[in-house]
Chains A and B, each alone.
Chain A
């Protein structure tokens, strides 16, 4: 039995939301908390409905395509059944060639984060240095410009030679991938510290440490986090291709393996899962971004 007061409040909110949705009281909105809560719920509901509409359209189109190709493309229903089979028991392990989707995903995430962390540990300090010091910027920037457009997969053979392990080579390419956006954003952030802020530090005799912690880092942190967000996004793109090359384990390997087993249902299910995980990663970092952004 819910607490009486809360229950009443909930009922009121629901009633108000319903009233708002039918435009009954829009003309005379009293600006209270109840009203804003109801409005927020209503907007959230609306957004859910829009998203659902999009997915219905997509699934409709998919169904149409599978009908036209006469089963070349599996039907949504068949795919969802396979999807359900996959996520129902995600952590089973029947030997090296038959592992649950959760284990595959976990192994990919571990590699992505390992490469991403190493890359960030390298890129952030170098970015700070390049942003703060014109000499470093001039020396390193041309290198960055040449290496940045290279597909990280091109580094795979070098990783293999260096580490003599496909798994390590995959981490290596994620490391390379994660470097550029973080490096460029960090150095841009530091380089764009306004003179006003620098002058304050100069005029009041800030120590190097105080300048770093009270001016440089607070100003560049939002830029750094944006860089990290871009990095993890690209890393998640690259891991699928990387694991197709390296084999053995991971979501990319799972896609390739499913293709070899001629199960497009599994491939499409994997695509869905990769998309959802990518979305969650991005949301996580954009949440962080909002947390560290100061408002002017």
Chain B
């Protein structure tokens, strides 16, 4: 029953995708081709990920999901230009990625704000470095604009230790958006936050994405299934490492703008969640044999 429904939805999706592709003739914007990333250690070559092929269209939100140590962040770092593929390549807008650049904004796993700079300065210094040629006034305007967008303008003089984790992550997101990158890379951005803060930040992220006309491509690493479905257009499921590969790519066609309450009840949402759960977990329920049997023990 579940399976039939799944296949049905999948067929619909395929048609939709074909239709969209015909309509837009979109070239893939971010392209990872036959990528392998290996590190040399004293014990020899360690392959983190291999055979990675991924194409992302402009303006898409893509999540990479998998267990810890499956090389999610490694792929992310390769797109960011912080790590280099030992084989294959990453191309962005037709150009091979050779290092970090202002066309990619990164939100790090642990906020990574500089503790000796105020909220304002944390964003300003990033803008100042990434958009070197912009006049000072415009840089200041940009910082103000994004601080207003994430509702932190009143807190601009505070230092990172004076604000909550959720606020820190909003600063980090504002910082990544403020340099106006084409691609946003989010490395487990909400992992350290409580469920309520997380939910409000999901909305915050989508809001910023909307305000920038859904033109920014977002690649996000996560291990939260609900988060991945709620935010993404596509979900890349990884096999476990080492030498991890892509296991499956799920398309998500939930209508946007998405709203937490309605989205979670839609059949497609539920179907994808079931699918991802079965991929990522060996067991999704406790059955008879998991119960402690008194007779057997006696």
Contacts and interface: CB of A to CB of B under 8 A. Distances in A.
Interface of A: 196-197, 199-207, 210, 214-215, 218-219, 294-296
Interface of B: 80, 82, 100-102, 104-106, 108, 110, 112, 114-117, 125-126, 128-130, 132, 159-161, 175, 179
Contacts of B112: 196-197, 199-200
Q: What are the 7 A-B residue pairs with the smallest beta carbon separation, nearest first?
A: A294-B116, A204-B126, A218-B116, A203-B106, A196-B112, A206-B129, A204-B129
Contact of B80 (A203, A215, A219, A294): A203
B177 to A, nearest CB: 12
A295 B116 CA distance: 8
A203 B187 CA distance: 13
Given A196-B108, A204-B179, A205-B102, A210 B116 contact: no
B82 A203 contact: yes
Nearest to A222: B116
A295 B101 CA distance: 30
A200 B126 contact: yes
Contacts of A199: 82, 106, 108, 112
A205 B110 CA distance: 19
B134 to A, nearest CB: 13
A214 B100 contact: no
Most buried by A among B106, B116, B130: B116
A295 B114 CA distance: 11
A215 B114 contact: yes
23 contacts: A196-B112, A197-B112, A199-B112, A200-B114, A201-B129, A203-B82, A203-B104, A203-B108, A204-B126, A204-B129, A205-B130, A205-B132, A207-B132, A210-B128, A214-B117, A214-B125, A215-B114, A218-B116, A295-B115, A295-B159, A296-B115, A296-B160, A296-B161
Given A202-B82, A203-B108, A207-B129, 13 more contacts: A196-B110, A196-B112, A200-B108, A204-B125, A205-B102, A205-B129, A214-B125, A218-B114, A219-B116, A294-B159, A295-B159, A295-B161, A296-B160
B125 A205 contact: no
Given A214-B125, A295-B161, A202 B114 contact: no
Contacts of B116: 218-219, 294
Contacts of A207: 129, 132
Nearest to B187: A199
A111 B128 CA distance: 44
Contact of B129 (A210, A294, A295): A210
Contact of A205 (B101, B114, B161): B101
A197 B102 contact: no
Nearest to A296: B115
A204 B108 contact: no
A291 to B, nearest CB: 12
Nearest to A292: B116
Nearest to B128: A210
Nearest to A194: B112
A218 B115 CA distance: 9
Contacts of A214: 114, 117, 125
Contacts of A202: 82, 100
A219 B116 CA distance: 8
Contacts of A206: 125, 129
A206 B126 CA distance: 7
Most buried by B among A205, A207, A218, A295: A205
A197 B102 CA distance: 17
A199 B130 CA distance: 14
Most buried by A among B100, B110, B129: B129
A205 B82 CA distance: 12
Nearest to A206: B129
Contacts of B104: 203
A13 B129 CA distance: 52
Contact of A204 (B130, B159, B161): B130
A219 B117 CA distance: 11
Contacts of A219: 116
